Amino acid sequence: MLFQGVYLENTSKLDSLVLGACTRSGVDLVEKDLFGAGNRKILRIFIDKDGGVSVENCASTSRYLSEELDKEENANLIDGSYTIEVSSPGLDRPLKTKRDFERNLGRRLRITQNGKFIKGVLKSVNGVSIVLETANANGKKPATEACIQVNEILTAKVEP
């Protein structure tokens, strides 16, 4: 049981360091994963921010995190050799959180809901629903708005 407690403590500390590096870089943490790859471990971090992520955002996040992990008090958080990978999650990833949707206001989305697809420009987001401006099929009538309950969305992706 002691091992499990140490593991959870290290995981919590690592999570805190990752969030701190993201904050210093001015980006949002989307996902963190630590896994083995041969004799090494890979700490893979996906970040995002309003307006998109630059190479400098990835580099500074990696640099800040590396500085923290190099400190003596953090030396054993990741056992053995490791590599840090920081990147943008890409446009084709599903939007999951309210913050994901907020970052994509004004962009064209493709929503899957109850077996049908809805495409439109994301106009607003709140904790319960999103509003898409959808084009009329024949193009003669003005665009309409579709209010979609978040709990009814199966997938949501940014259209390329």
* CA-angle at 150, arms to 148 and 156, nearest 5°: 85
Are 68 and 115 in a shared domain?
no
33 pLDDT band, cuts 50/70/90, is very high
Are 12 and 66 in a shared domain?
yes
pTM > 0.75: yes or no = no
Are 60 and 79 in a shared domain?
yes
By the 8 A CB rule, do 79 and 40 touch? no
139 pLDDT band, cuts 50/70/90, is low
What's the structural domain count of the chain?
2
Query: Which 3 state secondary structure label does DSSP give 148?
Result: strand
Residue 53 lies in a domain: yes
Total number of residues shown for the chain:
160
Domain that holds residue 27: 2-87
CATH of the domain at 117: 2.30.30.100
Are 69 and 107 in a shared domain?
no
Are 81 and 54 in a shared domain?
yes
CATH of the domain at 79: 3.30.300.70
Are 14 and 42 in a shared domain?
yes
Return the pLDDT at 5: 47
CA distances to 119, 132, 137, 157 from 140, rounded to whole Å, are 17, 19, 8, 27
Residue 92 lies in a domain: no
Are 82 and 103 in a shared domain?
no
